[in-house]
Amino acid sequence: MKSQVETQTLRGRNSPLEMTPEAFRTAGYAMVDRIADLLWSICDRPVTPGESAGAVRDLLDHDRPLPESGAGAEAVLDRAADLLIEHSLFNGHPRFLGYVTSSAAPIGALADLLAAAVNPNVGAWRLAPIATEIEAQTIRWIAEFIGYPRKCGGLLVSGGNMANFIGFLAARAAKAGPAVRSEGVANIGRLRCYCSAETHTWIQKAADLFGLGTAAIRWIPSDVNQHLALAALEAQFKEDVDSGDRPFLVVGNAGTVSTGAVDPLRRIAEFCRARDLWFHVDGAYGGLAAGVPGLSEDLSALGEADSVAVDPHKWLYAPLEAGCALVRNPQHLLDAFSYHPSYYNFSTETLNYFDFGPQNSRGFRALKIWVALQQAGRSGYVEMLTEDIRLSRLLFRLIDEHPHFEALTQGLSIATFRYTPEHLRGDDERLNALNQELLNRLESSGRAFLSNAIIGGKYALRACIVNFRTSEADIRALPGIIARIGESMV
Ligand SMILES: *Cc1c(COP(=O)(O)O)cnc(C)c1O
């Protein structure tokens, strides 16, 4: 017998995309079963199948034209699951330690399903009342976790690049004044921003996209520990002021992308305060580690920044995509982004996220973060981050003790090192080529996945643990896996 809901649906317009509750349940339960099996079996699979681009394209029969007529939802979804489960790189695999890409919390996948089903447009409060307030609470919780003022402004964006862009644009409007929005940067003078040479490439995209040009970036040398050198910052600032340039922004790193180095954030904050400069912290990777008590004095100084970028899709283990921009004074976001066209019928008394950032329509990114924060709680997150860091330090020690490796750096949860067979010691050129090839072979073996860094001219293997599935056994196995591949090459 058909339920009342189904009968109503069938009585309505019979659209090609509509699904009866029964069809939705059947396809949905099948999908959930497949996902549950995947997550359970992920550690038994290769990290990546390592197939060629041509082979992957062939799977899709890529010259096939757009189908003229439709097909059953269940069959279409089943094929999608086949393709994704058998032909993906799994960053949720316990031995995926490449780049800064985390394993995704399963609860986030369920939250994304719910978010997509309700489909609130979190651009305006009136279009998404409860979703807007959930995002606001998520922002407050993230701020609280890292020791940033709870009364800050903030919003979720697609990732670290976008979150850093928000800080950059807030700084530009605050320090260059409202004329920069109406007249453009050309009439403002030569705006200059400062950051260490270790800063992520987002700063180049920002300087380029927002009209300053990449020549506006002053790359400040870093010291032997990859920290921004304050004396060099001071000297460059003075030189620029003397020649009539307009410094407006200093970027500090809370965990550089290559080695996890934390810049001297407290002293940079003092430097900026004394000179009326905006202090932005790129904590896309490491900012969330400020939530681990007693980890680093400099990390906790991130609370003094005018703006901070953190990435929930990194160390909060949210499924892609989720970046988060926090700005100490919410007014600075309005000053940078707000416009009120005549076709908006939205009250200014409520929180409308279109006013606080570049997007108009916005998806419900907050839900997957909000549920995970509650599932693990603060203590659960502290435990997971602490364990990632402990495992990275363990890896560094194991590598250091191994006769065929050279341990290079260890910061937060990133360790860098290289394979150094005895007969090649001292020959950096050949060691660089060897390690580069070793990385490729390790990757295609599917046994573990690392990335690379260049440390003082040395090509290094880089393991970054933002992965709540990585165990001590995975880490203990790693030096042997890499050494065996190395031995097979020399
Ligand atoms: C990952 C990262 C970024 C870029 O973030 P996306 O989320 O990839 O856009 C910027 N800065 C640092 C330090 C990062 O680790």
Does the Cβ of 160 fall within 6 Å of ligand 1?
yes
Does the Cβ of 413 fall within 6 Å of ligand 1?
no
| Atom 10 of ligand 1, residue of closest alpha carbon | 160
Does the Cβ of 200 fall within 6 Å of ligand 1?
yes
Ligand 1 atom showing the smallest separation from residue 254 Cα = 13
Rounded Cα distance between 459 and 433, Å, is 8
| Atom 3 of ligand 1, residue of closest alpha carbon | 160
Does the Cβ of 98 fall within 6 Å of ligand 1?
no
Spacing, Cα 283 to ligand 1 middle (Å) = 8
Q: What pLDDT is attached to residue 436? A: 98
Q: Assign 94 to helix, strand or coil.
A: coil
Spacing, Cα 113 to ligand 1 middle (Å) = 25
Best probe residue, ligand 1, of 285, 316, 324, 365 (max atoms within 8 Å of C-beta): 285
Rounded Cα distance between 170 and 251, Å, is 13
CA 204 to chain centre: 17
Does the Cβ of 370 fall within 6 Å of ligand 1?
no
Rounded Cα distance between 136 and 329, Å, is 15
Q: What pLDDT is attached to residue 9? A: 53
Q: What pLDDT is attached to residue 11? A: 57
Does the Cβ of 263 fall within 6 Å of ligand 1?
no
Best probe residue, ligand 1, of 91, 99, 100 (max atoms within 8 Å of C-beta): 100
Does the Cβ of 284 fall within 6 Å of ligand 1?
yes
Spacing, Cα 62 to ligand 1 middle (Å) = 32
Place of tokens 């995209």: 205
Rounded Cα distance between 207 and 217, Å, is 7
Burial bucket for residue 122 (CB in 10 Å: 0-12, 13-18, 19+): buried
Ligand 1 atom showing the smallest separation from residue 285 Cα = 15
Q: Give the count of beta carbons closer than 10 Å to the beta carbon of residue 232.
A: 18
Does the Cβ of 202 fall within 6 Å of ligand 1?
yes
The DSSP code sequence of 300-351 is HGGGG-SEEEE-HHHHT-PPS--EEEEESSTHHHHHHH----TT----SSS-
Does the Cβ of 323 fall within 6 Å of ligand 1?
yes
Does the Cβ of 311 fall within 6 Å of ligand 1?
yes
Burial bucket for residue 168 (CB in 10 Å: 0-12, 13-18, 19+): buried
Ligand 1 atom showing the smallest separation from residue 311 Cα = 7
Structure token digits, residue 247: 């410094």
Spacing, Cα 199 to ligand 1 middle (Å) = 10
Does the Cβ of 286 fall within 6 Å of ligand 1?
no
Ligand 1 atom showing the smallest separation from residue 202 Cα = 10
Spacing, Cα 187 to ligand 1 middle (Å) = 31
Burial bucket for residue 367 (CB in 10 Å: 0-12, 13-18, 19+): buried
Q: Give the count of beta carbons closer than 10 Å to the beta carbon of residue 228.
A: 28
Asked if the peptide bond before residue 18 counts as cis, ω within 30 degrees of 0, the response is no
Does the Cβ of 257 fall within 6 Å of ligand 1?
yes
120 Cβ neighbours under 8 A, 6+ residues apart: 127, 128, 130, 131, 132, 364
Rounded Cα distance between 103 and 90, Å, is 8
Q: What pLDDT is attached to residue 381? A: 98
Q: What pLDDT is attached to residue 1? A: 44
Rounded Cα distance between 92 and 467, Å, is 7
Does the Cβ of 466 fall within 6 Å of ligand 1?
no
Q: What pLDDT is attached to residue 10? A: 57
pTM: 0.96
| Ramachandran category for residue 251: left, alpha or beta (phi over 0 → left; psi -120 to 50 → alpha) | beta
| Per-residue pLDDT reduced to its tens digit, 6-62 | 444 555 788 999 999 999 999 999 999 999 999 999 999 999 999 999 999 999 988
| Per-residue pLDDT reduced to its tens digit, 149-160 | 999 999 999 999
Below-70 pLDDT ranges, the chain? 1-11
Rounded Cα distance between 151 and 133, Å, is 14
